[in-house]
Chain A
Amino acid sequence: MTDGAPTLQVDNLETHFFTKDGVAKAVDGVSFTVNRGEIMGLVGESGSGKSVTGFSILGLVDPPGRVVGGRVLFQGTDLLTLDPEGLRQLRGNRIAMIFQDPMMTLNPVLRVDTQMIETVRAHDSSVSADDARARARDALGQVGIPSPDERLKAYPHQFSGGMRQRVAIAIALLNKPDLIIADEPTTALDVTIQGQILYEAQKLCRETGTALIWITHDLAVIAGLADQISVMYAGRIVEQGMLDEVLDRPAHPYTQGLLGSVPGHNTRGKRLYQIPGMTPSLLNLPKGCAFKERCPHVDLACEAAPEITHPLPGRAVRCVHPQLNAGGRAS
């Protein structure tokens, strides 16, 4: 690894979906940097483009989607200019991904050991089947699966949802990647399992220096996990900064809305807050600021597309009226 180069640096990434009804700009000029051992939370509503961002990094966007612009520098190498074979060698090896629905990510007709051993041997065919099995067993042990030797011989349907997600995480860890992209990996799990998995993910990053991008719509998950946070809305990042600062002093009205929507201790008995309106369709975004139709601070200036500004140190905000005195998370 090149010293100094961040694990992942995304510059102006653009992924568009060419549908019959027009071009949907699912990812429209997204930039962020993740350093070694750092955890970044990528937050947004459904359809904000956060999952597509993750798939774009790995080159796994299915047609009609296509990455049309930007750079994805992984340890200094631009993944977008890499040939398919070069990208394949990185996938599952240096960059691993964990998916949202553990019930769907493991192949139902293949045994767990098959699915783990092939991941090792796809990247290093010199590893013997026995060594690969030993690594698979260790990885299962690492994510807290009891009696990994027996479980290796099981099929996915013999595991519970939480256990399956652990298997998926174990597969992601097999080749000791430098970057893990986790796409809402705890959404389908119950809260106690979620807590365990978050704890283990954090421990892993601290111990091995693996960088982690945690995609989620759940601010509560991010709050206990990440170092920095990027908030996405309609294919663009609207606010970016260190986790605690953003949560305490959100500057973008959308971030404020998100934080305000989290029920807290002192909201008992009051009507819960929600952001008015709905996420706009990507095919039919409003001119100017995409959030203007739902924003309480909208005025004529919002008719022009807002640029990124830095109203606070270490903070990027895409808004012409950054809110600098507003309160943060409910306490």
Chain B
Amino acid sequence: MTVFIIRRLMQSLAVVLVMSFIVFGGVNIVGDPVEMMVSDEATQEEREKVIRSMGLDKPWYVQYGRFVAGALEGNLGKSFVYGEPALEIIIHRIPATFELALAALLLAIVIGIPLGVYAGLKPDTVASKSIMAGSILGFSLPTFWVGLMFIMVFAVILGWLPSTGRGDTVPLLGIDVSFLTLDGLAHLFLPALNLALFKISLVIRLARAGTREVVHQDYIKFARAKGLTNSRVVLVHLMKNIMIPVVTVLGLEFGGLIAFSVVTESVFAWPGMGKLIIDSIQSLDRPVIVAYLMIIVLIFVIINLVVDVLYSILDPRVRLSEMKS
């Protein structure tokens, strides 16, 4: 197991290195930040001064080397727009996005798995058919529209829940979080549900498909022939088998939740990093874009690692073959 994790860590490091190269190169191609920085009336001399101060007069490999050296020290450059270190700006926004994504993931699991398993166990009941029809809606309705409808119904018409911002936050281990205050929780619920809707549908479908497949396996019938209670057969024998695909997909989707929470954050004015990256792309704020992309890469790599480890906990066959190789 340890060997397996160490090997995966080395691979992850390689991925991060390659990605840093691609991100750096890609951003360099996209546009010239000097145009954004220097006013139109500036003289050639002033332009060159700016270019030199940003290190853009050096060849690309020197620039990349400086970037990597800086990155290793945790310095990804200063934002052209805010004049602050890019990393700090993003890290400042991370807790909000993470909290939103985690809440959405939790909703997807808590709502999706029971509904999916039920629909798989009793496929012909009206309730199951309603669940499946609902999941089609969850898949196909656009997030921004659902978000607007949520605001319309729950905030405007019913007035039950607030529609914008994070509400009251309290520090937890030095990070501001909303979910520990009642007001924060009220603010969190709608955006989290909005972000989770697609994932809930996905989990329902995965759990149902898994259940339909597993429930007809001999080992389930054998478990019943052993005289186990129904709840033990479903909660242990069936659930542990269907969790393999669910965990894999949810793990990978969690990265997506973070990276693409842009829409929900915009609709609910949630102060996370999704909104930040949109603004930065528009103003070609190169250090912020690079820092954001690098952080996303890091998050994806870590998630994949966690999924692999979880996977091997769930499926002993993976554990064995991975350790051998």
Contact = CB atoms under 8 A, between A and B. Distances in A.
A155 interface: yes
Contacts of B217: 104
A46 interface: no
Given A109-B314, A155-B317, A119 B226 contact: yes
A284 interface: no
B139 interface: no
Interface string B302-319: 000000000000111100
Interface string B224-263: 1111110010001100110010000000000000000000
A206 interface: no
B320 interface: yes
B315 A89 contact: no
B229 A122 contact: yes
B228 A92 contact: yes
Interface size on A, as a range, is 20 to 34
Nearest to A93: B227
Interface of B: 216-219, 221-229, 232, 236-237, 240-241, 244, 314-317, 320
A99 interface: yes
Nearest to A118: B228
Complex A-B, nearest 8 residue pairs according to Cβ-Cβ distance, in ascending order: A92-B227, A92-B226, A104-B218, A91-B227, A155-B316, A97-B225, A107-B219, A105-B222
B246 to A, nearest CB: 13
A50 B80 CA distance: 79
Main secondary structure of the interface of B (DSSP, over half): helix
Given A88-B229, A104-B218, A60 B320 contact: no
A108 B219 contact: yes
Among A62, A106, A107, A158, residue most surrounded by chain B Cβ atoms (within 10 Å): A107
15 contacts: A60-B225, A62-B216, A88-B227, A88-B229, A91-B227, A92-B226, A93-B227, A97-B225, A107-B240, A110-B237, A118-B228, A122-B226, A122-B232, A155-B317, A157-B317
A158 B323 CA distance: 14
Contact of A106 (B222, B229, B241, B317): B222
Contacts of A60: 221, 224-225
Nearest to B239: A109
A155 B222 CA distance: 16
Among B219, B227, B315, residue most surrounded by chain A Cβ atoms (within 10 Å): B227
A109 B229 contact: no
A180 B90 CA distance: 66
Given A107-B237, A109-B315, A122 B225 contact: no
Contact of A91 (B225, B236, B314): B225
A157 B320 contact: yes
Contacts of A118: 226, 228, 232, 236
A90 interface: yes
A111 B241 CA distance: 13
Contacts of A294: none
Contacts of B241: 107-109
Contacts of A109: 240-241, 244, 314-316
Contacts of B219: 104-108
Given A88-B228, A104-B217, 13 more contacts: A60-B225, A88-B227, A91-B226, A96-B225, A99-B221, A105-B219, A108-B241, A108-B316, A109-B314, A118-B226, A122-B229, A123-B227, A157-B317
Contacts of A62: 216, 221
A58 interface: yes
Nearest to A119: B226
B237 to A, nearest CB: 5
A89 B226 CA distance: 9
